[in-house]
């Protein structure tokens, strides 16, 4: 398997990602997108062979947060693997790569749109965030996140700081 980090998503890769998400997450109703509402900054893709089709990806959104007056950088991420390629370690490899890219961030934050990724994330040390998560929609209105949020703390103290403020405020959009 080949793992590739892409900062630019051209039209053909975009099409592949949209099609892959439609196969892996048919219930997500992403309306032609491969992410929820924030265009990712980076996508890590897996291919079976050089130049072959994308068989899985993990996207990353970098976000600067203010938590109780302190600045923190976090990485938001989501994953999908083509159903015919699942249970072969592809999401594990993609997650390992994204955690390496996020080195230097205070935390990596995910939302469970389905429960399928829970055990994968728990294996990597992600734990439930026990305070509400809020973001702002395109009109600037506050939206309370309903999907379970899991977090892997990379900078000790980040989760305590979030819990002390009573909620995690993501700013514009989720991922
Ligand atoms: C969740 C998802 C990304 C997992 O992808 P994956 O490539 O199958 O994940 P992995 O193979 O790395 O690991 C999945 C399981 O397969 C097992 N596995 C890994 N390699 C294996 C192999 N060679 N043979 C058998 N099992 C294997 C892992 O141990 C793991 O088991 P666990 O979850 O009980 O710990 C995939 O199911 C998916 O795309 N689901 C739909 C999209 C989705 O739900 N995304 C998350 C939204 S929040």
75: domain CATH number is 3.40.630.30
pTM of the prediction?
0.95
> Using CA positions, which residue lies closest to atom 16 of ligand 1?
87
The closest-lying atom of ligand 1 relative to the alpha carbon of residue 81 is 39
Please give the DSSP secondary-structure letter assigned to residue 94: H
Taking the centre of ligand 1 as the mean of its atom positions, its distance from the CA of residue 120, in whole angstroms, is: 6
Quote the domain boundaries for residue 36.
2-172
In what side-by-side order are the strands of the sheet with 70-81?
2-6, 42-47, 54-67, 70-81, 107-111, 149-153, 127-128
pLDDT in tens, 80-132: 999 999 999 999 999 999 999 999 999 999 999 899 999 999 999 999 999 99
Phi, psi angle pair for 125, to nearest 5°:
90, 10
Domain count of the fold of the chain: 1
């Amino acid at each position: 398997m080949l793992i590739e980090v892409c900062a630019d998503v051209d039209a053909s890769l975009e099409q592949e990602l949209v099609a892959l998400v439609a196969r892996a997450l048919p219930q997500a109703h992403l309306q032609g997108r491969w992410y929820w509402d924030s265009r990712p900054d980076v996508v890590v893709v897996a291919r079976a062979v050089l130049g072959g089709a994308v068989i899985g990806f993990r996207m990353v959104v970098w976000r600067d947060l203010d938590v109780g007056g302190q600045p923190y950088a976090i990485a938001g991420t989501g994953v999908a693997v083509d159903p015919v390629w699942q249970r072969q370690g592809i999401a594990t490899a993609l997650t390992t790569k994204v955690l390496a890219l996020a080195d230097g961030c205070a935390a990596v934050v995910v939302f469970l749109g389905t429960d399928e990724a829970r055990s994968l994330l728990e294996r990597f040390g992600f734990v439930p965030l026990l305070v509400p998560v809020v973001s702002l929609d395109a009109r600037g209105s506050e939206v309370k996140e309903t999907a379970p949020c899991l977090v892997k703390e990379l900078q000790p103290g980040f989760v305590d700081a979030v819990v002390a403020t009573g909620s995690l405020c993501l700013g514009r959009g989720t991922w």
